[in-house]
Amino acid sequence: GDSVTQMEGPVTLSEEAFLTINCTYTATGYPSLFWYVQYPGEGLQLLLKATKADDKGSNKGFEATYRKETTSFHLEKGSVQVSDSAVYFCALRMVDYKLSFGAGTTVTVRA
């Protein structure tokens, strides 16, 4: 079935470092892809999304490009801040409109 595989964490970075979290997908057809963020003690927030190949989603300095040829949707940020410390989930919308989530990657940014 449709699924995503996400880079395992945890990831620890210094402020202003470059962040990449890898996400690859397996799906029939061309699913919509999402990145969600969960800050400590909070629910999930949509960070960005892409609905078709070559789309680039962006928000709060984060970017991810829907790559059909590599079936990937890697999340990147050029200069992280302490406030970016959170758990990041890659997700895929399946044909029946359900979301399939990756395992989540815990990111800790140190000052």
Partner 1 sequence: SAVISQKPSRDICQRGTSLTIQCQVDSQVTMMFWYRQQPGQSLTLIATANQGSEATYESGFVIDKFPISRPNLTFSTLTVSNMSPEDSSIYLCSVDDSHYGYTFGSGTRLTVV
Stretch that binds partner 1, among 15-23, 37-45, 68-76, 78-86 (CB under 8 A): 37-45
Q: Is 66 in the site for partner 1 (CB under 8 A)?
A: no
Closest approach, Cβ 76 to partner 1, in A, equals 19
The one segment of 11-19, 64-72, 76-84, 102-110 that binds partner 1 by CB under 8 A: 102-110
Cβ proximity to partner 1: between 17 and 55 the closer is 55
**Both tokens assigned to 88:** 């990041």
Spatial neighbors of 105 by CB under 8 A, at least 6 apart, are 6, 7, 8, 9, 10, 11, 21, 87, 88, 89
Residues 6+ apart with CB under 8 A from 97: none
